Amino acid sequence: MKINPTDIAEKITKGNRRSLAKAITLVESSRRQDLLLAQEVLKQVMPSTGNSLRIGITGVPGVGKSTFIEAFGNYLVDEGHKVAVLAVDPSSPYTGGSILGDKTRMQELSRKVEVFIRPSPTGGTLGGVSRKTRESILLCEAAGYDVILIETVGVGQSEYEVSTMVDFFLMLMLPAGGDSLQGIKRGIMEIADLILVNKADGDLLQKAKVAQNDLKTALHFLKPKFDSLTTDVLLCSALTGNGVPEVWTHINEYTNHLKSKGLFNTIRNEQFVQWTRRMTEQLLVSDFWESERIDEEWKQATGRIRENKTTPLNECLNLLERYRK
Ligand code: GDP
């Protein structure tokens, strides 16, 4: 079937979910033809993008991310918002398996017409998955979703990646303090805009309060993300819903403060500039290695290096010169 990008773009901006899903499938496709079509759709919807809050959510498996997103998403819908949930799943590129893709998650939320949930794209490097997610964010915005939740697992590089595509980065933690805090990578706490101790209910409430205090103390020793804002630590129970509305209030106060300082859009624009830069670098590297001239030159270079006839830098410079010609 012939796909008409103008037709899809128009339907997306009218909020058509099937067209949105179709465009995301194009964005996720590895076929060059689809990729170009996706770019055409994106270009056309660009003026309708940007009207959302992009919120990253991370935390170790079992911390309660999907339970929280279910509770938070339902709350947002009750408040009149349209919510899209996307995922960046670091396990999928390497193992084909998925930590986040479980279909049974967020069951109530997924049935709501105001909600669009898309499992994480599979295949490709984290850089590839990241581009797909960034483009999917734009498509969801064009379709009228005004809160975009991007979930990722706090186990590696993916949370850094997600933090560079969102306006607000939320880190969920378990109610455990003291020694176990030392296992947390400082870097991750430094990129969080808010830390949320989940499962603050029943027998765990007391532990959660201790964890909150410990985390607040730990944050004192870290470099603040913004001079005029501090990373706060709040308690919540995704299971009972306690503390969920407060998270939304906090996110709004925080992002409104950034807007009042003129930082909100500056940060977004800078994220796009950096993304373009990194993508250019990635494309350049793959173009380099795919080039036939380099293929031949590389074989010769490795031969010379193995025979100790030259230095690696000399060969690098040769290869670059060959590539430029
Ligand atoms: P994820 O792997 O981070 O998505 O975690 P899940 O949302 O799947 O939750 C893992 C387990 O923790 C499930 O058994 C949940 O029912 C439970 N859980 C999640 N949130 C809470 C909470 O606020 N309080 C309590 N007591 N349990 C919770």
How far, in whole angstroms, is CA 284 from its chain's centroid? Answer: 23
pLDDT of residue 100: 60
Q: Tell whether the torsion through CA atoms of 79, 81, 85 and 86 is positive or negative.
A: negative
Ligand 1 pocket member 166 (CB < 6 A)? no
**Nearest CA owner, ligand 1 atom 11:** 62
pLDDT tens per residue across span 49-85: 999 999 999 988 889 999 999 999 999 999 999 999 9
In this predicted structure, the answer to whether residue 102 has a pLDDT above a threshold of 70 is no
Distance CA 67, CA 80 (A): 20
**Nearest CA owner, ligand 1 atom 18:** 64
Mean pLDDT within 215-235? 86
Higher pLDDT, 180 or 292: 292
Instruction: Decide if 90 contacts 155 (C-beta within 8 A).
Output: yes
The residues facing 197 across adjacent strands are 173, 235
From edge to edge, which strands make up the β-sheet containing 168-173? 115-117, 83-88, 147-152, 53-58, 168-173, 194-197, 232-235
Question: Nearest Cα to 121, choosing from 215, 41, 33, 38?
Answer: 38
pLDDT of residue 167: 97
pLDDT of residue 164: 93
Ligand 1 pocket member 67 (CB < 6 A)? yes
Ligand 1 pocket member 63 (CB < 6 A)? yes
Ligand 1 pocket member 133 (CB < 6 A)? no
3-class secondary structure, 114 = coil
Ligand 1: centre distance to CA 161 (Å): 24
Number of continuous H segments (helices) and E segments (strands) in the chain: 14, 7
In this predicted structure, the answer to whether residue 109 has a pLDDT above a threshold of 90 is no
Q: Tell whether the torsion through CA atoms of 89, 90, 92 and 98 is positive or negative.
A: negative
Ligand 1 pocket member 235 (CB < 6 A)? no
pTM: 0.90
**Nearest CA owner, ligand 1 atom 9:** 64
Structure tokens at 216: 């607040």
pLDDT tens per residue across span 25-57: 999 998 889 989 999 999 999 999 999 999 999
Ligand 1 pocket member 132 (CB < 6 A)? no
Distance CA 115, CA 81 (A): 9
Ligand 1 pocket member 150 (CB < 6 A)? no
Catalogue all structural domains in the chain, each as residue range(s) with its CATH number: 1-46 (1.20.5), 49-261 (3.40.50.300), 274-324 (no CATH)
How many alpha carbons fall within 13 Å on the CB side of residue 282?
13
